[in-house]
Amino acid sequence: QLGAAASYSHADGHVDAPAVVRACVAGATARGAETRPHTRITDLHLAGDRIKALQTDAGSIPCDAAVLAGGPDTAALAALAG
């Protein structure tokens, strides 16, 4: 039979996930990345195993690399790559 248990340590940590995302986006844009919030990706244009462009509801966006950060839609986005 399993009992309930918990632990606490002053060394335990936590993270503010939205703040981490904002910091990552700020770091990426400071290094030249572009973000397109609220833009739906509908397809990936691939050449072999390399991504060449993202097809979106706002048109095609050429790219050399893309970050897959779709939250709950990540699996569907990854499926576009095959």
What's the predicted TM-score (pTM) here? Answer: 0.67
Which percentage of the chain shows pLDDT scores above 70? 96
Question: Is residue 69 very low, low, confident or very high in pLDDT (cuts 50, 70, 90)?
Answer: confident
Alpha carbon distance 50, 23 (integer Å): 27
Considering the chain, what is the average pLDDT of its residues? 88
- pLDDT(15) > 90: no
State the pLDDT at residue 43. Answer: 95
| Nearest in space to 41 (alpha carbons), one of 68, 14, 16 | 68
Region 64-70 average pLDDT: 86
